[in-house]
Structure 1
Amino acid sequence: MSQHLSRRHFSLGLAGLGATALAGPVRAAVPREGEGESKTLCFVGGYTQHGPPGISGNGEGIAVFEMERDTGVLTLITTFMDIPSPSFITLTKDRKFLYALSEINDYNAEGDGCITAFAVDTRTGTLAKINTVGSGGAVPAHLSIHPSGKYVLVANYVGGCVSVIPIRHDGSLGEATDVVHNTGPRQPERAEDNPQGNFAVSDHSSAHPHMIGTDPSGRFVLADDAGLDRVYVWTLDEKRGKLIPAKKPYYNMTPGSAPRHFVFDHSGRMLYNLCEQNSKVVVSKFDPKTGEITFIQSVSTVTSHFRGSTLAAEILISESGKYIYVSNRLGDSLAVFAVGQDGTLILQDEVWMHADYGRAMMFDPSGNFLFCANQRSDVVTTFRVDRDTGKPRFVHKFTPVGSPTTFAFMVTDA
């Protein structure tokens, strides 16, 4: 593999609670207080020793923590260890199932990664493996659940394709009903509007889908392709599980910019797309009837004073819709944007992450705390968020987790 500073080269290289029915070993549990009350649980995944080529992580699987609601402190309960490199995980809305991808390329003879389905005990958070299926391509990077609840959508980064995987009535997964391979001209490794002194590059050797999800209505499926510098748009035939290109099947981003993750505003009419290579948020109008994307603004995720290498990673929108947050790897910062009445962004602050290579971020269910997975530091850092100003304040809480990259939160039944 190349020694370029890209997502796949992360040197820059990239749960059961003691139940005997659990398919896999778990680490010893820590006793918890307040049995009989609902609890806030945090699932954290990341890279293990079994990962994609060139990457060997320090994680052990899916770690399960209980969050103290007043302080944001995470206390380890257990670790589900029978899964390789669960670098992205997500829960169903009813919390009954968790789906985790394994960012590998050796699940089967075709060199695919895989997706594992877990049943979740909504009272305790216990995970029980249901089944595992191929992801439809090598080294999957992202998955999401279609709003219909019928399919898991998967972005296979190295495989250069996106997949549609059916969810059965019992939460188990079937074989892919559709696999779409992206094609297009080769793009430059660096964007022309890079921050000054940025030596980091993103892999543009071929198609590299990095995220797949829907607009808030669920009518359209979008995928960021960091290799082709495009945002693809489809509709989903829910009966057949097939992706159908929109009237305008893709939107071209800045060459070399590497679109990575996106979020919508609550109306579904504003699209915020994070580009990792040039560390920009691209603000666009989104037509919920046609899926058409129209450019409005491009704004840097680092201040004008920044010099050096940086790769943007994650983007979140606050529950109020007034603020957007971005994590910057290498620069190790958390950018805070205010959202204007017209949907455009103003960079308000850039906060030190207090650790190295911040990747995924997520709010807890209350929205009071923001957590960041710092892959190279093997730690999760915690910030308390001021709802009025949007500013995150580091609360000096470090939670050790090997090579963390992803979160999922749930509130248990009482």
Structure 2
Amino acid sequence: MKSNLTRRAVIAGLAMAGAPALSRRAAAELPQPPHSRTICYIGGYTQHGPPGGSGNGQGISVFEMNTDNGSLSPLMTYVDIASPSFLVISQDSRYLYALSEIDDFNANHEGCVTAFSVNRKSGELTKINVMRSGGAIPAHLSIHHSGKYVMVANYMGGSVGILPIRPDGGLGDPTDVVKNTGPRMPDRASDNPPGNFAVSDHSGSHVHMVASDPSGRFVLACDAGLDRVYVWTLDLHTGRLVPDAKAPFINMTPGSAPRHFAFNEKGTMIYILGEQDSKVVAATFNAQTGEIVPQQTVSTVTPHFRGSSLAAGILLSPNGRYLYVSNRLGDSLASFHVNDDGTLNLVDEIWMHADYGRSMMFDPTGSFLFCANQRSDSVTSFRVNAATGELQFTWNFTPVGSPTTFAFLNTI
């Protein structure tokens, strides 16, 4: 692990801790540290990346956020990790988990997940252990609502891996690996934007996201290769996934490549993003049965748009009144108003000010929205109007090699 904080600076800080106390006046004149800082972790693709997908990143880059203007100042970089393209922090902020989007962790051509402990005061990370992901090229991970398991979506492996969390925050060997199968689907959807030449890989199962519903009763996964959303329950004692008896999966539009989803706070609505056709399906979700019933399909690009587009990230505002989607190739951010019945109205589509925006995330206050722009090697930020949903570009560009993911922490 490397960091731009040198050993000399650390030793000097420790020496100062043992120095004679300053006078009250002198101490008062020194800059006083804030009681809490906002730390932003950014991951992405490194030279050791997925086949044909190596990037310019160095590892996990750590920044401090200016909560007044949304700018990010570099603190350190953890380089002892390959292509950490997705990060997640535990609910108690004690641990950070980072997948490595690779296929050469072991002889079975799997990716892996690294567990870190988090220093709540400084934001520094300490590696605990590294565990296989249960499949090749993991693309997404989340922590189950119970806090007992990390769930991994293995894209090329076409599988979901369930990794138990040890008492020390480290990870155990997968308790279950579920592989999906199904018929070959078309590479393009019939409801594509006009002139869209972009394709999504439908050569087989490609699990792109896995997460539990807000109640923790169900586990859902988007399979972008089979055009399905799977529904399971998770046995918390054995760590095994059990297919939902009534609706083990729902078929989406052929070729649409369901990529990510977002739940409303109550867990009664689910918004499923199609990568290939740049559409959002708003559906009701039955928290008792796991049934998904589509109610509406809306485009993430305006009716004026022509050309190639691939939708990437989907995010609900903290107040649940607005939904945002990032569009790659078209380099835009779409904002939707969420109606009382959960349906959506496209409010605006604005320029991302960078190329190939992928994941998005709000800072802990919800005042700023950050976007990871993979091909521009930059992060851009937007000030959020909570009342109207409007996004205003801050003109803050943060250089990060091939960024794809965020995680935020408030220090104590």
Mark yes or no: TM-score above 0.5.
yes
| Structure 1 position 306 matched with structure 2 position 305 | yes
Aligned to 2:395: 396
Q: What are the within-5 Å matches in structure 2 for residues 192-207 of structure 1?
A: 192-207=190-205
CA distance in 2, matches of 1:320, 1:60: 35
Identify unmatched segments of 5+ residues in structure 1: 1-23
CA distance in 2, matches of 1:206, 1:35: 53
Superposed displacement of residue 26, structure 1: 2.1
Aligned to 1:316: 315
CA distance in 2, matches of 1:355, 1:348: 21
Superposed displacement of residue 54, structure 1: 0.8
Describe the superposition over 1:16-51 as per-residue Cα deviations: whole angstroms up to 9, x where unpaired: xxxxxxxx2223479997436210000000000000
Q: What are the within-5 Å matches in structure 2 for residues 321-340 of structure 1?
A: 321-340=320-339
| Structure 1 position 85 matched with structure 2 position 83 | yes
Aligned to 1:269: 268
The amino acid of 1:74's aligned partner reads: L
CA distance in 1, matches of 2:384, 2:2: 36
CA RMSD after TM alignment: 1.2
Q: What are the within-5 Å matches in structure 2 for residues 17-36 of structure 1?
A: 24-28=1-5, 34-35=32-33
CA distance in 1, matches of 2:112, 2:369: 29
Aligned to 2:173: 175
Aligned to 1:156: 154
Aligned to 1:12: none
CA distance in 2, matches of 1:78, 1:25: 8
Superposed displacement of residue 56, structure 1: 1.5
The amino acid of 1:310's aligned partner reads: S
Give the one of 140, 143, 148 matched to 2:141: 143
* TM-score, reference length from structure 2: 0.93
CA distance in 1, matches of 2:388, 2:164: 42
* TM-score, reference length from structure 1: 0.93
Aligned to 2:111: 113
Describe the superposition over 1:261-306 as per-residue Cα deviations: whole angstroms up to 9, x where unpaired: 0001111010100010000000101000000110100000000000
Identify unmatched segments of 5+ residues in structure 2: 14-30
Superposed displacement of residue 55, structure 1: 1.4
SS of equivalent to 1:288: coil
Aligned to 2:23: none
Superposed displacement of residue 152, structure 1: 0.2
Aligned to 1:356: 355
Aligned to 1:213: 211
Superposed displacement of residue 381, structure 1: 0.3
What fraction of aligned residue pairs are identical, expressed as a percent?
Answer: 64
CA distance in 2, matches of 1:195, 1:86: 32
* Structure number having the greater helix percentage: 2
Aligned to 1:230: 228
CA distance in 2, matches of 1:341, 1:96: 36
Kept in 2, the 8 Å contact 1:27–1:80? The answer is no
Indicate the structure (1 or 2) with the bigger Cα radius of gyration.
Answer: 2
SS of equivalent to 2:244: strand
Q: What are the within-5 Å matches in structure 2 for residues 18-97 of structure 1?
A: 24-28=1-5, 34-35=32-33, 37-97=35-95
